[in-house]
Structure 1
Amino acid sequence: MGIRESHTFSAWKWLGFVSAVWVQTISGNNYTFSNYSDAIKTLMNLTQLQLNNLSVAKDVGKAFGLLAGLASDRLPTPVILLIGAIEGLIGYGAQWLVVSQKIHPLPYWQMCIFMCLGGNSTTWMNTAVLVTCIRNFRRNRGPVSGILKGYVGLSTAIFTDLCSALFSDDPARFLVMLAVIPFAVCLVAILFLREIPQSTSVAAEKEEARYFAIFNIVAVVVAVYLLTYDLIGSTNQVFSLVFAVILLILLASPLAVPIYAFVKSWRLVGFEADMERQQPLLKEETTSPPAETKEIITEVAAAASADDATVLVEKTKPVIGEEHTIMEAMQTWDFWVLFTSFLCGVGTGMAVINNMAQIGLALGHADVSIFISLTSIWGFFGRIISGSVSEYFLKSIFHVH
């Protein structure tokens, strides 16, 4: 592989990572239920228990994320993204029709199905993005997962603040955003997100570390920017429009990394051409070994292969940092520690997030969007820090590369 080809592959890999970041930026819609739950409760005349069961149906959709995981080894990334995009369009589109009163309220069981579809859609997006990017950046799994999951945390704040700035927290328009924007972003990501062979050179690893530092800085800037807007609040329509434009620019700014990588690869075209011109025009002909020597080599190789066939090589179990099958993962303590942590920890967090609107209203707050956004932002910091810290311990203690 030539110098230009290797850098071109690197540029496409970073372009895919940027599209993955965008997908994660819009795939946190599972955490936005509180933004429109009160509207659904009022229109469908639900009790608090029935509303809670609707949120459970949404979370049950995430439980079917196992299907996306199994499909990731059998289906290409674009297909997985497309499945998630279509599910989200149908699930949140149906909820928009109800909240906007375009149709009469659906039967309760049908709403549960559409809530489940909307919840399951993000599992396909997350799986496609995480699996592909971790395979593309095997030496930086921690930063990759931290950045991508961090943007999922920011997703709720991004949707909430944009809706607050542009649509005055209108729940119907908020659901339009949840249905249309993820669908459009996934269609864009389908064009660029691919598995690309990674470079094994030390220079490439250092370059990846520098680029990931840039992504981390941009993510923190976005989080601080959202936090500042939440604390200041919207003063007028012009201020809100300026906030939205700057936010979109910040979200687009990671494109600078693949653009720089492409420019770098183009500059190397001339260098590689000069290297080729310096090669001698005539090369000495290599003498082929005599026929007798060839026969001896063939016989020795055949004997060696016959001996190797009798040796049974026992497959070693994968270690931390290597890919595991589901059965291999279930045979490790690490899997069950993670399973227990998610079972006990994630459920309690989702219960609070799903009922944030009702908690805020009960405490006398008419607008609870700021609480939803702040929860999202602090969740982002926890995700991105945990990704970097975990990678540090993997490399320094377990020596995983």
Structure 2
Amino acid sequence: MGYHETYSPNGWKWLGFVSAVWVQAISGNNYTFSNYSDAIKTLMNLTQLELNNLSVAKDIGKAFGLLAGLASDRLPTPVILLIGAIEGLIGYGVQWLVVSQKIQPLPYWQMCIFLCMGGNSTTWMNTAVLVTCIRNFRRNRGPVSGILKGYVGLSTAIFTDICSALFSDNPAKFLIMLSVIPFAVCLTAVFFLRETPQSVSVAAEKEEARYFAIFNVVAVVVAFYLLVYDFIGSTNQVFSLVFVIILLVLLASPLAAPVYSFYKSWRLVRFEPDVERREPLLEQEANATAERNEVINDEPPVAVEEAGVVEKSRPAIGEDHTIFEAMRTWDFWLLFVSFLCGVGTGLAVMNNMAQIGLALGHADVSIFVSLISIWGFFGRISSGSVSEYFLK
């Protein structure tokens, strides 16, 4: 193994990860229903029960995320991203047409369908991003999932605060943001998010860990920046514009990782072409051993023939499972019940936050939606790092 592969991280892999971060930063629109639910309720003259059923239709869209999971084994990542982008453009685009009164309010059952499409769109984005990045960084799956899911939590605050700063929480403009921005970001990610060969050297693994530490720091800075804005609020138009510009710069800052990686690779090729010959022998042997171990660990379960019967060994935790293999494990059902109880209650609160706030006398509930998003981010990103520490 040469020096370039051992010490220089794959720039394209990091560029793909940055694009994945951006996709996640705009794919939490399922949690923003409270920001425009009151407008839909007023325009369609709905009761509270009917509005709740609309939010249920939106959440049912996420239940069809199983389709995205099955498709991830058969379709390339760009196709999965495009499906989510187009579905979100249609689902939230129609809601924008209704709320902005470009068209007459649709029949109730049709609105349920379009809310379901909007809810389902994010499952395609999340699946494409998580599956691809976890395959690209198998040795750092905890930080990868923590960072990516953390940005999903932040996305609600990002959308809410940008809309508050630029459009004074206008629900119609908020919906056009939900339909157009994810579509544009996914179209960009299509060109960069790919599965790449694994780096198996010890040096590459350590360098990945350093990069992920930087990504964590950037994410925490973004979270605190949004938190400060929520407490300060928008004082004038110039302040709001400056806030949005700084936020966009912070979201773009992870690009420094692939840029540095490309520069490092170019510098090694340009100025140190013979560095491979100077690599220490012991390090070569260590890297070769790591490669052999990785190959052994990544081999699929072999068939065991005993007494004339051929059986396939069950994959271990951390290895790839089919959906049917996963459903035969206790771990799957433990996660299923945990998500059903934990995520379900959280969605119930988020969906009704507007009505809760109005009932308590708050005319603007966007700050509560944003705060829940930010605190959810801290739980998501810390869980990834903690799980990697104890389970790696």
TM-score for both structures, normalised by structure 2: 0.90
Matched, 1:130 2:130: yes
Q: Identify which range, 322-331 or 130-139, moves more after superposition.
A: 322-331
1:321 corresponding residue in structure 2: 318
Instruction: Give the SS at the match of 1:191.
Output: coil
By how many angstroms is 1:9 displaced? Answer: 6.7
Q: Distance in 1 between matches of 2:336 and 2:191?
A: 34
List aligned pairs for 1:82-161, cutoff 5 A: 82-161=82-161
Secondary structure at 1:273 match in 2? coil
Moved more, 107-116 or 327-336: 327-336
Mean CA deviation greater in 2-11 or 96-105: 2-11
Q: Alignment length, in residue pairs?
A: 365
1:243 equivalenced with 2:278 (yes/no): no
CA distance in 2, matches of 1:74, 1:63: 20
**Deviation of the 1:2 alpha carbon:** 5.2
- Counterpart in 1 of 2:353? 356
The corresponding residue for 1:32 is: 32
1:258 aligns with 2:258: yes
Matches within 5 A, 1:60-75: 60-75=60-75
Give, in angstroms, the shift of residue 57 of structure 1.
Answer: 0.4
Task: Say if 1:7 and 1:262, in contact at 8 Å, map to a contact too.
Answer: no
CA contact (8 A) 2:7 2:203 kept: no
8 Å CA contact retained: 1:31, 1:353: yes
- Alignment match, 1:369: 366
* CA spacing shift, 1:277–1:52, aligned 2, 3 Å: closer
The Cα of 1:316 is off from its aligned counterpart by 2.4
Deviations 1:350-396 (A, max 9, x none): 0000000000000000000000000000000000011111111212x
Confirm or deny: 8 A CA contact 2:8 2:204 kept in the other structure: no
User: C-alpha separation between the residues in 2 aligned to 1:313 and 1:197?
Assistant: 32
Three-state SS of the structure 2 residue aligned to 1:323 is coil
Alpha-carbon deviation of 1:277? Answer: 9.7
Contact 1:41 1:47 in 2 (8 A): yes
How do 1:2-401 residues align onto structure 2 when only pairs under 5 Å count?
Answer: 3-4=3-4, 10-270=10-270, 273-274=273-274, 314-395=311-392
**C-alpha displacement of 1:4:** 4.2
- C-alpha separation in 1, matches of 2:60 and 2:226: 30
CA drift of 1:25 comes to 0.2
Whole-angstrom CA distance in 2 between matches of 1:311 and 1:276: 51
Q: How far apart, CA to CA, are the structure 2 residues paired with 1:49 and 1:188?
A: 39
Task: Quote how far apart the aligned CAs of 1:331 are.
Answer: 1.4
Distance in 2 of aligned mates of 1:276 and 1:203: 15
Q: CA deviation at 1:315?
A: 3.2
Amino acid in the other structure paired with 2:60: V
Identify which range, 174-183 or 342-351, moves more after superposition: 342-351
CA contact (8 A) 2:6 2:203 kept: no
Question: How many Å separate the matches in 2 of 1:344 and 1:217?
Answer: 30
| Inter-partner Cα distance in structure 2 for 1:343 and 1:237 | 42
Aligned to 2:283: none
Distance (whole Å) between structure 1 residues aligned to residue 24 and residue 246 of structure 2: 19
State, as a whole percentage, how many aligned pairs show the same letter.
84
Q: Which residue identity is paired with 2:86? A: I
Write out per-residue CA displacement over residues 186-223 of structure 1, whole angstroms, 9 at most, x where no aligned residue: 00000000000110000000000000000000000000
TM-aligned CA deviation for residue 332 of structure 1: 1.1
Unmatched segments (≥5 aa) in structure 2:
279-304
Residues 235 and 138 (structure 1 numbering): CA distance in 2 closer, same or farther, change over 3 Å?
same
SS in 2 for 1:192: coil
Is the Cα–Cα contact under 8 Å of residues 137 and 144 in structure 1 kept in the other structure? yes
Given that residues 9 and 196 in structure 1 are in contact (C-alpha distance below 8 angstroms), is that contact kept between their aligned partners in structure 2? no
**What CA deviation, in whole Å up to 9, does each residue of 1:292-351 have, x standing for no partner?**
xxxxxxxxxxxxxxxx9x998753221111111111111111111101101111111100
Letter in 1 for 2:132: T
The higher radius of gyration belongs to: 1
Go from structure 1 to structure 2 and tell me whether the alpha carbon gap of 1:7 and 1:201 turns closer, same or farther (over 3 Å shift). Answer: closer
Alignment deviations for residues 260-287 of structure 1 (CA, whole Å, 9 cap, x no partner): 0000000110355335899xxxxxxxxx
**Displacement after TM superposition at 1:21 (Å):** 0.2
Query: What amino acid does structure 1 have at the position aligned with 2:371?
Result: L
Give CA-to-partner distance per residue, 1:84-138, whole Å, 9 cap, x none. 0000000000000000000000111110000000000000000000000000000
